[in-house]
Structure 1
């Protein structure tokens, strides 16, 4: 079976998420970070990266589930309004539009599937958040699973030097 369309969409999604993450990382301030229940940090880029990848996947493959890491629950409190606004703004800048807050939160939550379908995607919107926070290495990891087997994977490493940059 050919996965040409899946590969094309996955590359576009991860590339867009990487662009957003670079932008957020360049301007990151402490207020753009919160702590999850497991004490791990989560940034505006984690939420926005997941929203962007899920938006691409939902548009191209509306029947596919996504097993991601984030959900919008932590963003929905009144106290997190500035962080929520920042997520919506960054996603809008990357996708090129004035987006509705509810739509962005819906894209984040599209990544809350349980992976029980025969075909689904897995996403780590920022693998290595602590490295991201230090301005070091991190990755955006996306894979397509069919019948329990990885059939396609895309790994975006925005801070990795390549070619002549090494």
Structure 2
């Protein structure tokens, strides 16, 4: 995925190349960019293009890029703030940091908080609450899902053909 940081780096590379070509590498970035815009105006005039219209279109595209990145950042913040406390059908407990369709998890139970989840697991398994291990945590990454064991090791989730994340979590067993 192309980010605005990528776009800024491309522009920086173009300005550096321009500065080398025009022998103004000792000038500030502002002067280099101003000179580059000026020669682009000369090019637009030579090619009978309306530079102001091009600049307006570029500004519109820039505004759209910034808005899309803000929306993506806000969506990521919302997803990362989700915490679902799940006891799956095989009796293991999980903290999930993204929305799940619990209808796709028959036999699984959602709890309101971590403490209630651990108490339910201890009761269902007959294990003393103090002896329960850490909850496995699931997170959503840009390239799929991850699970964290013992709060230290992060593993990519390997979904089989057609398997949903809900099925994976509900069927999870050591």
What TM-score do you get using the length of structure 2 for normalisation? 0.26
Task: Return the structure number with greater helix share.
Answer: 2
Q: Name the structure, 1 or 2, with higher relative contact order (CA <8 Å, separation 6+).
A: 1
Task: Return the structure number with greater strand share.
Answer: 1
In our comparison, the structure showing a higher alpha carbon Rg is 2
